[in-house]
Structure 1
Amino acid sequence: MTDPRFQQAGVAATTYPCGGCGARLEFAPGSTGMQCPYCGYRQEITAGDRQIREIPFGELAGLARKPVGSIGKYVFACQRCAARTETNETASLCQFCGAPLVIDPAASGQLVPEGVLPFQFDRAAVSTHLKKWTASRRFAPNALKKVTTAESTKSTYLPHWTYDSQTESFYTGQRGEYYYVNETYYENGQRKTRRVRRTRWYPAQGQVARSFDDVLVPASTQIAPAEVDKLAPWPLPDAQPYQPEFLAGHFALRYDLEPETGFEEAKRRMAPVIENDCERDIGGDTQKVHSVDTRHHDVSFKLMLLPVWVASYVYQGKTWQILVNGRTGEIHGERPWSKVKIAVAVVIALIVVAAIVYFAVTSGHSSTSGGHHSGTHH
């Protein structure tokens, strides 16, 4: 049972009536509008006056929001059948009539997304991608084919933080320069000489600067961030200013990672790039970086919603998940191994090896016998 202290009050869910049959419109992937799944009626999404903006990090403390831990489940009030649906998602479907539900972002208690990257592939196209992917998984159980069915895939917008930062980094390290010497050694009692590379090390220190733009950090932990990262790169220039119409008929997770925590992760993602800059600045043939002190200036951030098709199925009591980039079609995910198929493959391989050995031995005996007979005849 949900703790009443953290129960989100009932919120109105925006729905979009069909102008043709009165059903509800859904955003049509790969288009710029919504479409009725029943009669095919289409309605274009009108561009508003909103722009995707970078929010200065210094303004974060003054923005209206609730701590992530204090926000309970949302209770959607469906405008179609008046049912109430309890969920942690900011966009969902009515559990009674299936009508699309999209929360008013101002009522979510969280920061409003600045942009959304709309889905490019519909369910049929995703099924095609998944069929190719599952067919290429060797030694996978037949159950893997189930992820290509319509019921096992959900179009879900995943929240991401993006960060911009101007950085200045002060480093200390060492520059290595190669030189070569002749070294004498003995092999099988013989004296030999070989050329050996050595390194002279010199102290190094300096300063590098880099401008980072749109460093992405997954803002939801409901799906493993490491798996979501594998779907990159994302065509962020194609993103549209946030409008709830893009979410209609799809799912959207709310963020559970605060932007301050996300920035610490962004720093960790910037660090290897900065260290490479330091190594190039040190020069020489090889480098060692001992310390890096990075200062961030003009930091800004924004919340973006990125499209992912989530396919899942149960095999041997475990839930397996496959993710598909809703723009590029890139697929990454878990897959089980079929012990039966592996065992069969091993048996077949052993039979083939045994057959090869048998024919090799048989051929050898035949050759020997044939050679002996020829010699006797002569």
Structure 2
Amino acid sequence: MTDPRSQQSGVANTTYKCGGCGARLEFAPGTTAMQCPYCGFRQEIAAGDRQIREIPFAELANLARKPVGSIGKYVFVCQRCAARTETNETASMCQFCGAPLVIDPAASGQLVPEGVLPFAFDRPAVSTHLKKWTSSRWFAPTALKKVTTAESTKSTYIPHWTYDSQTVSVYTGARGEYYYVTETYYENGEQRTRQVRHTRWYPARGQVARNFDDVLVPASTQLPLQELDNLAPWPLLDAAPYQPQFLSGHFALRYDVEPENGFEEAKNRMAPVIADDCKYDIGGDTQRLNSVDTQHNNVTFKLMLLPVWVATYMYAGKNWQILVNGVTGEIHGQRPWSKAKIAIAAVLALIVIAAIVYFVVLKGHSTGTTHHSVTHHSVTHH
């Protein structure tokens, strides 16, 4: 239900009343239902008629939206305690009573998400993943392995753009074919031969085509881009059509990367794949690419919300952040390094290298001595 008070004094937001005790329902990770955190009452999320659509990129200019830079903070009015909360998030929690706050997507000023990939595991499971992660950090301080819980853990839906594109690329380059030439050289006064590889280059040009599906680009700059990318792959086929019920009791960032800018990044992510296709088409033993001109056809896009547990833990008086894929449990993030362990590893490496050098020299000396003895014996016998 939507509270009229929130429409009058803030953005329209939706909450779901518990049928058991009257509190607010929250989405229960790993299920298809909302659950009351107080009495345990559950309510299944109805499937609905909405489908996940691929939106033609050519229609983007006609879609209702505001420029990212023109949207200020949202003002939620809690339907439980009437407190006002200002935030840049499209789903949050009341800062006074903790009641879930979910914006009406039509009031956000942004494009409505097409799909949402729901959280598959709850908060206690994050501690299990964190324990495994800290235990596998070889050069982390020993005390870090005792960290099994985070000081702050937020289940946060991160907006991502996905792009489909049918590409046709025309390239120019060169095909290299190896050939070998026998060369003569001298070593320790003895004449020897060796095969030296050379390359003959032949001009090449051609055309390749590839259909890209669901190229993912993070639509928020609030978290480290590389660490978000490292959480892939995402089981997008398990995504559900967007419904605000999946956000209730969790957080959701709004996008701050326009879909046009996201498509430019998607092109950058497609480029290495296209380059490999061109090289494969050129053939030969090695290849050079001089130019690649790619045309993108039938481009479509959509906005997806992907689940990330954003966990912060305290170590040595400093906050460290890690990100956990809310479906697969893949984890990446910041961690301290143990200078003592690194120093010990460096010393052990030097010892191993010194031992190898010692035995190589010893073996060489032993071989040289044996050779001299045989030579001397041969001369004496003569």
**Alpha-carbon RMSD:** 2.2
Q: Deviations over 1:204-226 (max 9, x none)?
A: 00000000000000000000111
Q: Deviations over 1:317-357 (max 9, x none)?
A: 653210110010111111112346667x579979x99xxxx
Amino acid corresponding to residue 294 of structure 2 in structure 1: T
**2:157 alignment counterpart:** 157
Match status 1:299 vs 2:321: no
**1:245 alignment counterpart:** 245
Per the alignment, in what secondary structure is the counterpart of residue 124 of structure 1?
A: helix
Per the alignment, in what secondary structure is the counterpart of residue 265 of structure 1?
A: helix
Within 5 A, what are the aligned runs for 1:83-162? 83-141=83-141, 144=144, 148-149=148-149, 151-162=151-162
User: What is the CA distance between 1:138 and its match in structure 2?
Assistant: 2.9
Alpha carbons of structure 1 residues 139 and 20: separation in structure 2 relative to 1, 3 Å: same
* Contact map agreement 1:26 1:35 (CA 8 A) in 2: yes
Output the CA distance in 1 between the equivalents of 2:327 and 2:279: 35
User: What is the CA distance between 1:312 and its match in structure 2?
Assistant: 1.4
Alpha carbons of structure 1 residues 143 and 217: separation in structure 2 relative to 1, 3 Å: farther
User: What is the CA distance between 1:198 and its match in structure 2?
Assistant: 1.3
Match status 1:268 vs 2:268: yes
Alpha carbons of structure 1 residues 123 and 71: separation in structure 2 relative to 1, 3 Å: same
The alignment's TM-score, normalised by the length of structure 1, stands at 0.86
Amino acid corresponding to residue 138 of structure 1 in structure 2: W
The alignment's TM-score, normalised by the length of structure 2, stands at 0.86
**2:358 alignment counterpart:** none
Per the alignment, in what secondary structure is the counterpart of residue 212 of structure 1?
A: strand
Which deviates more from structure 2 when the two are superposed, residues 214-223 or residues 130-139?
A: 130-139
Match status 1:258 vs 2:271: no
**2:4 alignment counterpart:** none
Amino acid corresponding to residue 20 of structure 1 in structure 2: G
**2:78 alignment counterpart:** 78
* Contact map agreement 1:146 1:313 (CA 8 A) in 2: no
Output the CA distance in 1 between the equivalents of 2:97 and 2:276: 55
Match status 1:13 vs 2:13: yes
Identical positions, percent: 81
Q: Which runs of 5+ in 1 are unaligned?
A: 1-8, 354-378
Per the alignment, in what secondary structure is the counterpart of residue 49 of structure 1?
A: coil
Output the CA distance in 1 between the equivalents of 2:106 and 2:163: 22
Amino acid corresponding to residue 287 of structure 2 in structure 1: Q
User: What is the CA distance between 1:136 and its match in structure 2?
Assistant: 1.9
Within 5 A, what are the aligned runs for 1:1-378? 10-141=10-141, 144=144, 148-149=148-149, 151-315=151-315, 318-339=318-339
Output the CA distance in 2 between the equivalents of 1:173 and 1:56: 33
Q: Deviations over 1:127-183 (max 9, x none)?
A: 111111112223434674686326421110000000000101000000011111111
- State the number of aligned residues: 344
Output the CA distance in 1 between the equivalents of 2:42 and 2:162: 33
Output the CA distance in 1 between the equivalents of 2:132 and 2:115: 31
* Contact map agreement 1:314 1:320 (CA 8 A) in 2: yes
Which deviates more from structure 2 when the two are superposed, residues 147-156 or residues 109-118?
A: 147-156
* Contact map agreement 1:171 1:292 (CA 8 A) in 2: yes
Output the CA distance in 2 between the equivalents of 1:55 and 1:325: 26
* Contact map agreement 1:147 1:153 (CA 8 A) in 2: no
Q: Deviations over 1:6-39 (max 9, x none)?
A: xxx7112211111111111110111111111111
Amino acid corresponding to residue 168 of structure 1 in structure 2: V
Amino acid corresponding to residue 282 of structure 1 in structure 2: I
* Contact map agreement 1:146 1:152 (CA 8 A) in 2: no
Per the alignment, in what secondary structure is the counterpart of residue 246 of structure 1?
A: helix
* Contact map agreement 1:92 1:251 (CA 8 A) in 2: yes
Alpha carbons of structure 1 residues 342 and 210: separation in structure 2 relative to 1, 3 Å: closer
Per the alignment, in what secondary structure is the counterpart of residue 148 of structure 1?
A: coil
Q: Which runs of 5+ in 2 are unaligned?
A: 1-8, 353-382
